[in-house]
Each structure stands twice: as structure tokens, then as C-alpha cells.
Structure 1
């Protein structure tokens, strides 16, 4: 039986794929759970239209992410944290720290797009990655400074 997948299904295909499966598998598992619909002409056209709309949305998001990446090129983010002996931080630098520091510079990003190579627990200069889209990433400098004691 031919069905059109309405969700990505590991081992079988991705959203919009028309696949051939056994009738019992389709009627007892895929269709009732919403993983697929029968591959009628109308269902195939509907899923293809949804795919086109998703592609356009992804393209718009990618363009916005590329513009953001251009803004971020060459940016140095400064974060001040309380430190103990030998420049060791109390805790570590978090994505929220980076987001708020960028916000002060007029750049808005999502906390989930900040990627650290490792936990940052020392004062110093680091390179971190900002990934606003799965296909777009940019490396920026993170300058961790000790908080001034009064």
C-alpha cells in the first residue's frame, strides 16, 4: 500500500515522501498514529503544498540568520563575573550571559543558538559559536573579565 508520510519516520523516510508499506502496517500503525495518510492524488498534492510553504519559511529564516551573522562578524562580547583565586569564576559563563551582553549592544539572539566549545570557568578570551539557523553559524570572541570589587 502506498502512503504519504506526514512526519519524519526513522528508517522509512521524511515528511512528504511517498513510500510503499504493507497494508496492515499502514492501516494499524502509520495512519491511526498520524504518521501517514493514504497516497491519494489529493493527499499527495496537499502534502506537497505544505512542503513548499515550509521551504519558503525556512528560506526566510535562513536569510534573517545570514543577516544576523553579518552583524555578528567581528563582535567581541564582554561578560563580567565574580571570580575567586587565580581568575577562576564562581560558576561558569552561560548562554544567558552572552545573550544579555549582546542585547546591550543592540543585537537580539535566541539563547539556544549560543554554542560553547567547553564550559567557560576562567577569566580570558574565548571563541564561541552563534548558530541562528542550522545552516548558518558565526564565531565571535567572548571576553570574560573579573567583576570589580568595591
Structure 2
């Protein structure tokens, strides 16, 4: 089955890629989840629109990725969240909140889908966060979650 990816799928490709997958995987998972659209000649024209949008968001090249990595690794990122007496959060910290905290700390604008979290963040403390900036470059920084007063 030929499909066009609309989102990044680990091990398969990036948005705008035309890939061949098994019928069940495409029909039962990729299409219903919105990760892909069925391939057709008309849909293939949409690929250029998807790629154009991706290039606007993406890191330009390896040199730019290393520059952004340098900015991130020297950054102190702190996030304030509501927590109970034991330090347990009401809810969990999301990738979008981390991206906003990085921007508030003076860092670059990141794509939330590129963040790699150590699991769900549900209590106050320091957590390692990595960001896949480029296929060859991964930046790591520490996120400090503090309790709101």
C-alpha cells in the first residue's frame, strides 16, 4: 500500500515522504491516527505543500543544528507547575510546556515533536531532556521543575 506521511513516524519517514507499507499497518494504524493519507496523483501534489511547511520549521543544516545545540546546552530551563505537599504535580509536564519554558529562558524556538522525554514528568525536580535537532545532532539540557507558590 502506497501512502504519503503527514507526520513524522519513527522508523518510517518524515512528513511528505511517499512510502510503501503493508496494507493492515496503513489501513488500521497510520490512516486512522492521521499520520498518513492514501497516495494518489492529486495527493502527491500536496506533498510539495507539506515539504514547504516542514522546511520552514526545520533546522537548515548541520552547522545551524550545532549552533542551536550550543545555545541549548548552556541554558538553564526552569518550569513552574502546581504541585501538592509531597512534590507530586497536579497532572504532568507536557512537551509544549517545555518548549515554552525554553523560549522564556532565552533559548531557540523548538518543535515539540522533536523532544525526547525520560518518561512522564509528574513530580518536582531536575530531569534530562534531549532534542533531536538533526539526524546527526542531539542536544541535551536539564529541565528543573519547581513548585508554584
* TM-score clears 0.5: yes
Partner of 1:21: none
Q: Is the 8 A contact 2:89 2:122 kept in 1?
A: yes
| Cα displacement (A) at 1:63 | 2.5
TM-score, length basis structure 1: 0.58
C-alpha distance in structure 2 between counterparts of 1:7 and 1:95, whole Å: 28
Note the 1:1-150 alignment, pairs <5 A.
7-9=18-20, 60-107=60-107, 108-148=109-149
More strand by share: 2
Q: What is the total number of aligned residue pairs between the two structures?
A: 100
Root mean square deviation of aligned Cα: 2.5
* Secondary structure at the counterpart of residue 131 of structure 2: strand
Larger radius of gyration: 1
C-alpha distance in structure 1 between counterparts of 2:95 and 2:74, whole Å: 19
C-alpha distance in structure 1 between counterparts of 2:59 and 2:71, whole Å: 19
> Residue by residue, what CA displacement relative to the aligned partner does 1:94-135 show, whole Å, maximum 9, x if unpaired?
111111111112321111121101101010011111112222
5+ residue gaps in structure 1? Answer: 1-5, 12-31, 35-57
TM-score, length basis structure 2: 0.58
